[in-house]
Chain A
Amino acid sequence: MVRNQRHLVFAGILAASTALAGTAQADTIKVGVLHSLSGTMAISETTLKDTMLMLIEEQNSKGGLLGKMLEPVVVDPASNWPLFAEKARELIEQHEVAVIFGNWTSVSRKSVLPVIEELNGLLFYPVQYEGEESSRNVFYTGAAPNQQAIPAVDYLLSEDGGGAERIVLLGTDYVYPRTTNKILRAYLNAKGISDEDILENYTPFGHADWQTIVGDVKKFASEGKRTAVVSTINGDANVPFYKELANQGIMAEDIPVVAFSVGEEELAGLDTEPLVGHLAAWNYFMSVETDENEVFIEQWHEFIGDEDRVTNDPMEAHYIGFNMWVQAVQQAGTVEVDAVRQAMYGQTFKNLTGGIAVMNTNHHLSKPVLIGEIQSDGQFETVWETEGVVKGDAWSDFIPESAKLIADWTFPWVCGNCEAPKFGGTVDM
């Protein structure tokens, strides 16, 4: 903690001094960090701010970038969605940052989008999300639905996953769960699971009383068909939800729950003994044993000064995104956004979980998908993973109106949601 504060103070002083004396600009490359440090989302986003400071510090210890030091500019949008847009503008216009790493919730990203497009900034967004978007100015390093939700449901329906015949879709009431569940419902119907075997339920943010809903799930599951739960419950509501599952004695062998927003960090506040076997689908688990991951975890523990802190999927997304950006800048020889964007396409970097991530022209990564079961020590154990990497899909194939859209920011398409290339000619598809 002390270390963090020193970083913050350091960043603050630097930011202030550079604002006063414009000459200092030339000596550093500024990297914007746009994560909430107060308010409801601070619980998740503070960790990502620390991750960015760690990555920048490491890059500087290697001699910086293009012969200059990197300088973090940390701002606090305070979990306030419109404030995200203001802070993004401040980062680009006042601080003249070369790139921004930030945002967690989709609603905050949607708020930043117009600003970043207007000012031609560059944003790396590290969190799994609902897809249906591809902006020229954003690189999405988290998972798209086909890199998380679809493989997870496939696993639940498979023999190894328990062969579910009924699915309960539980979610928090906002854009990410609703869009994801719309895609999943279409996908399940295509897999032969009819609407009467799907139960969909939404709850407000921070919902704390899960007795009725968990009771309903139990009832739905007792009607003779094997049932599984797909949870897009977000944020604080997860802890009371899992506590209620344990309370009512729902075992993972009977009704497995697969979650898309529960990682190592969220489990840190829970006694996981009664939750063993419930699942999560991510592109990264802290428990995966590779050399890269071991180094990363060690580096994180040393930086944060606490051996008990965990690592999680969005941290890996920032790790990949930051390193790809560094490579792209080195290749382009400048931090100028248009040049860096071109250099980003096809950029590769080693995943922490093995295999190689690739940045595609639709601004989404190709990454492996892992499904893990919760263990009694609060970690996940991988029980299934994809053979190779899966390419992130900006537009879902399972929503009819999106299936025909293409996102490709290279010639001749050059657009995020087109049915035909912007620049004539024929294209092989």
Chain B
Amino acid sequence: MSTRGFALPALAALLSCMAFLAAVAGGAPASQAATLEEALQGLAAKSYKERAVGVEVLAATGHPRAIPVLEAMAKGQLFVRKADGSIVIGDKTGKVYALTDAVDGTALGDAKKKELKKVKVNNRLRGVIRAALGGLTLLSSDPGQRAQAAAAVFAARDAGALATVEQAIAREEDAKLLDQLTLAKAAIESNPEFPPDVRLAAVERLSDSALPEVRSLLASLSQEGEADAEVRAAAAAALEAVERDLAFWNLLGTIFQGLSLGSVLLLAAVGLAITFGVMGVINMAHGELVMLGAYTTFVVQDIFRDFAPGGLDYSLAVAVPAAFLVAGAAGVAIERGVIRWLYGRPFETLLATWGLSLILQQLVRTVFGPTNREVSSPSWLSGAFETATGLVLPYNRVAIIVFSLLVVGAIALVLRRTALGLYMRAVTQNRSMASSMGIRTGWVDAATFGLGAGIAGVAGVALSQIDNVSPNLGQAYIVDSFMVVVFGGVGNLWGTLVGAMSLGVINKFLEPFAGAVLAKILVLVAIILFIQKRPRGLFALKGRAVES
């Protein structure tokens, strides 16, 4: 609230000033440079409150330098040079700051941290700067800036901005931005100082939207505080319509979140669907193979950072095959070294692989250290697709859903269409028969386990985008993975897919009512009951394979 209180006079002042500037059109007055310098000194005032006033004074000058200076200030790149007290913009590279003059943008050479005093900003100040920039950039040539400006104007709802908004609407060509701008205009026109018919039309326009912000605006208009009964009734009706819309989009959002959680479960479980589902090996070190994949991503990114910083955005494309090979090799080593001596003894396998998981964890802890490692998200995966109705689909979540389906598809192809897949199925169905047909069963066992382990590593690449890269990464997923495989039906890839997705969606529908802790418990209890009824899971294997 306080931010808005600050922004209102600022916007009014600067917008009227801009109107003046537009009228003069070019040829900035000579006196402006002096006022700009004065205004700049105001930015370095002692308290946050005084600095906020300084921001408004600077914005009110309407000087073209105000935009880069305010942008630098919001990013924490504005400094006072201790030697002469002048305001400079400092861009940090390594340990030195490349300075430019705030007044005219000329380069001033490099400086060390000790020669500079930072102009500190906090959240409130950033809010004030954003509102001020909103007014200054509404007519900017950059669509992203215009979108931010429209949002800032919508939030401020200041009548002084109306003229500029109308000007922006007249020249806007982008349909989505136009929608945002007319919405901002309607928000302004819903203020009590406008005549009733304008206000009613504005409420009408607002009711077309389903944004949460619009909902709160309409809610305040439909309450007792609103003097005009007609507006109040219209707002109440509009509110109902918006809430209906919101409920629908929320439902879609929940389903998306469920599928997203499901795809994470699917990725974690799909490798296990092979080692446990196809081979029947209870591999407690499965989570650690996922972790190895995540650490491989870290190492690959590190190498990219050192040798090809430009290609960092594409490092994931290298990390996927690298993680497959690393985790796959670890898997083959585990199978040849430990598991093959323990076939047919599930309890010994369980204990041995659990011990292996502890060894792998501690090994990674010794090599990489116990703290989290940073895996950066490529720029094409950060950000989100936002609809005008408030539905947010983050790119990395969408990418993980698509990626998990691709992985399942690839495994299905390997199992059904390749010679290796044929051998695998033959060996798991009837080992001695396959052996007497000349298949080297030991080799097939190692390859199958390696494939499952490799897929776990690939899952680690995806999980590194949304979770910690720490030695404990694997532990978080091991129980969930077994749950998915058992629920979906052991030995059935299709069952794993459906099982993971339905567990994800059920979890997300329960969470708002039951809370995260209880939702997990409820799902677990439901699965236990389900297994009582159908011991072989959702999609049970039929035929002779079941007997073995």
Contacts and interface: CB of A to CB of B under 8 A. Distances in A.
Contact of A222 (B216, B376, B520): B216
A1 B369 contact: yes
B425 interface: no
Interface string A346-379: 0000000000000000000000000001011000
B253 interface: yes
Interface stretch (B63-71, B313-321, B510-518): B510-518
B331 interface: no
Nearest to B219: A224
A147 B103 CA distance: 43
Given A239-B468, A269-B374, A162 B384 contact: no
Nearest to A49: B370
A212 B511 contact: yes
Chain B residues touching A, range = 35 or more
B76 A375 contact: yes
Chain A residues touching B, range = 35 or more
Interface in B364-378: 365-366, 369-374, 376-377
B126 A211 contact: no
Contacts of A209: 261, 264, 507
A269 B219 contact: no
Contacts of A160: 48-49, 122, 124
Contact of A226 (B1, B261, B520): B1
Interface string B269-291: 00000000000000000000000
A44 B13 CA distance: 51
A270 B382 CA distance: 13
A208 B100 CA distance: 43
A207 interface: yes
B213 interface: yes
A386 interface: no
Contacts of B468: 236, 239-240, 269
A252 interface: yes
Given A160-B48, A161-B124, A163-B1, A271 B374 contact: yes
A278 to B, nearest CB: 9
Given A223-B216, A224-B216, A247-B384, A215 B253 contact: yes
Contact of B371 (A1, A216, A269, A381): A269
Which of B124, B517, B520 has the most chain A CB atoms closer than 10 A to its own CB? B124
Contacts of B146: none
A248 B469 CA distance: 21
B2 interface: yes
A373 B216 contact: no
B508 A256 contact: no
A212 B511 CA distance: 7
Nearest to A164: B1
A162 B3 contact: yes
B366 to A, nearest CB: 8
A143 B368 CA distance: 30
Nearest to A252: B123
Interface stretch (A197-205, A390-398, A399-407, A418-426): A197-205
A173 B517 contact: yes
Contact of A211 (B120, B213, B508): B508
B467 interface: yes
A3 interface: no
A222 to B, nearest CB: 4
B260 interface: yes
A383 interface: yes
A119 interface: no
Nearest to A216: B512
Contacts of A159: 2, 49, 124
Contacts of A163: 1-2
Nearest to A277: B123
B61 interface: no
A161 B261 CA distance: 34
22 contacts: A40-B475, A42-B471, A43-B471, A43-B472, A159-B124, A160-B48, A162-B123, A201-B515, A209-B264, A215-B257, A236-B472, A236-B476, A244-B466, A247-B394, A248-B384, A248-B392, A249-B386, A256-B123, A269-B373, A269-B470, A375-B76, A381-B76
Ranked 3 nearest A-B pairs via Cβ: A269-B372, A222-B212, A247-B394
